[in-house]
Amino acid sequence: MTSSLPKAPWGVLETALRLAKAPIKTLDQAKRSVNGNYILPSVWGPAYVICEKDVVDTLSKELNWNIVQKDPVTEDSPDPLKQLGGDFNVTSDGYFHKHFRDTLRNQFSRYRLDDYAEVLIKSFDYFTKDWEQQKAIEFSQKIGDITLHVICKGILDIDFSIEEKIHIRKTINRVYTLETQYIILGSIATSVLSPWAFGYRRMANKMRNIFDSKIDGVAQCPFSKSYIKEFIKKEQNTRSPVVDVGRKKIIDDLLGLTVAGLDTVNVATTWAMRILIERPDVVEKIRAEAEVAKKSSVDNNIDYKMIPYARSVFLETLRLYPPFPLIIKQTVDEMVLGSTLIPSKSWVFFLAYSMHRDSRWFTDPDEFIPERWHGNEWGLEEAAFLPFGAGIHRCQGWELALIEGSLLIALIYNKYDVEPVKKLGNYNVAYIPYKYKINLCVKGGLPLRFKRRKHSLSRGLT
Ligand code: HEM
């Protein structure tokens, strides 16, 4: 059987040029021109681009997701993500992947999620204390202070100095830029030609050393609920010699978790804020819900379980602007998807961006309608909604992400009036300009001005 999929309308060179300029737009255009799944000629060889829900359905129901992350880790891998994080959840498969995933599972249990929500709420006023004195807050930058704190204090129980945090943020930023070039232009461009690659290994090693220096302190703390303790306990309880993964693997895993959990929530919350500038009606509903949540709580805080509307706003944001609009995998064995034979070790791209905007699965896809998520989060189980990926590598922090996103939106609008610093232009909310850096960012950033709301001043909301 040969593949019956149509090809994208361009050759390798033109595809590469188009991808370098506007990757997601290019992939979406090809989907629209062939009207379904297609084969993309890429520098890596042909990639199978999946935009049809039934293929994802088949994969999950019948084929046990016999599809993996990209090529196995080698010490000298040119992949910037692997140079930083080595062999962690996102980049590994098989035994290590299962081992890490199992170890991490407890960290996302209900009681741990409650801990993280508390860390976020308690730190919110501290991190936003000078927002209203500033002429402009670059939102995605500032919100990262809070989300990094949730990972460090909540999940890892590590205290980093300000300089260490700055280095972590810079390195993660760099890894996203380099990873984009790596995927689009290929390894040679990344390791040889790119000026951005200069000094990257040094930065990555420094970040690894920072994490390394924290492990013993946490491991010795008897009451810590840190993931580091969980990891070490699991190592000690497992007899198999294969599991003697040692210190390097703990660092790999901590780095992986930090990379996975940081700029994802940041960019998604930034998109929510960008959209809400256009939708004062939605802001009013978020505020009304937050008020009720506060009034009904004993400590005047917002309980994340009491703000379903804010959660729907965040879900709807993830639909229109999924932080990972493209999820890249490889087949393990040859497989048949629909009427298409996909050879082993082929690239398979899941184009979440286009699937989320398909009217067959989302009515009025270009409209921002939080209500579509009300009372049923069916979408999270649906093959057409892939902000968190799917299958054996599905995001493990998805519930934490939804809690963080909805709480941040509710807390911010409860406390502040928000306005953009510069003129933003007139865009339909579904077509706000973006920049693709593996994740989808608001183009040009989002400088905002925050003014304390009168009612929150009078109630001493600090
Ligand atoms: C809005 C925020 C987030 C989005 C959109 C997101 C999205 C994703 C996606 C698309 C994947 C890859 C799934 C696949 O390959 O099929 C992933 C993996 C992962 N995410 Fe998230 N994520 C978010 C937040 C978080 C947070 C807050 C954490 C934890 C702190 C986290 C932890 C992970 C981990 C550990 C993996 C690797 C899972 C594996 O390979 O088995 N994520 N995420």
Q: How far, in Å, is the centroid of ligand 1 from the Cα of 265?
A: 10
Q: How far, in Å, is the centroid of ligand 1 from the Cα of 89?
A: 9
Could you state, in order of their start, the residue ranges of all structural domains in the chain?
Answer: 73-319+396-405
Q: How high is the pLDDT of residue 73?
A: 47
Test site for ligand 1: of 92, 155, 264, 270, most ligand atoms within 8 A of the Cβ? 264
pLDDT in tens, the chain (462 residues): 455 789 998 988 888 889 888 889 999 999 999 988 999 987 778 889 999 888 888 887 777 777 776 554 455 667 777 777 777 777 777 777 887 888 888 899 999 999 999 999 999 999 999 999 999 999 999 999 999 999 999 999 999 999 999 999 999 988 888 887 777 666 555 555 454 567 888 898 899 999 999 998 998 888 888 988 888 877 766 544 444 457 888 888 888 889 888 889 999 999 999 999 999 999 999 999 999 999 988 888 899 999 999 999 999 999 999 999 998 888 888 888 777 888 888 888 899 999 999 999 899 999 999 999 987 665 666 778 999 988 888 899 999 999 999 999 999 999 999 999 988 888 999 999 999 888 899 999 999 999 999 766 444 433
Q: Which ligand 1 atom is nearest residue 100's CA? A: 41
Q: Which helix (H) or strand (E) is 138 found in, with range?
A: strand 137-138
Q: How far, in Å, is the centroid of ligand 1 from the Cα of 9?
A: 32
Tokens of 363: 């009515």
- Per-residue pLDDT tens over the stretch 53-104: 888 888 877 777 777 765 544 556 677 777 777 777 777 777 778 878 888 8
**Do residues 347 and 42 touch, judged by C-beta distance below 8 A?**
yes
Integer-rounded Cα Rg, in Å, for the chain is: 22
Residue bearing the CA closest to ligand 1, atom 9: 388
Q: How far, in Å, is the centroid of ligand 1 from the Cα of 327?
A: 11
Beta-carbon contacts of 329 under 8 Å, excluding residues fewer than 6 positions away, are 67, 68, 69, 70, 347, 348, 349, 350, 393
Residue bearing the CA closest to ligand 1, atom 27: 261
Q: How far, in Å, is the centroid of ligand 1 from the Cα of 393?
A: 8
The domain over range 73-319+396-405 is classified in CATH as 3.40.47.10: no
Residue bearing the CA closest to ligand 1, atom 20: 395
Test site for ligand 1: of 395, 403, 406, 437, most ligand atoms within 8 A of the Cβ? 395
Q: How far, in Å, is the centroid of ligand 1 from the Cα of 461?
A: 33
In a 10 Å sphere around its CB, with 0-12 CB exposed, 13-18 middle and 19+ buried, how is residue 35 labelled?
exposed
**Do residues 336 and 1 touch, judged by C-beta distance below 8 A?**
yes
Sign of CA dihedral 329, 334, 336, 340: positive
Residue bearing the CA closest to ligand 1, atom 31: 397
Q: Which ligand 1 atom is nearest residue 352's CA? A: 10
Residue bearing the CA closest to ligand 1, atom 16: 389
- Per-residue pLDDT tens over the stretch 360-416: 989 999 999 999 998 766 566 677 899 998 888 889 999 999 999 999 999 999 999
| 369 vs 153: CA distance, rounded Å | 34
| 399 vs 94: CA distance, rounded Å | 24
**Ligand 1 pocket by Cβ (under 6 Å):** 89-90, 101, 151, 155, 257, 260-261, 264-265, 268, 323-324, 327, 387-391, 393-397, 400-401
Residue bearing the CA closest to ligand 1, atom 6: 388
Q: How high is the pLDDT of residue 76?
A: 62
Beta strands in 34-75 (DSSP E): 38-42, 45-50, 67-68
Q: How far, in Å, is the centroid of ligand 1 from the Cα of 23?
A: 21
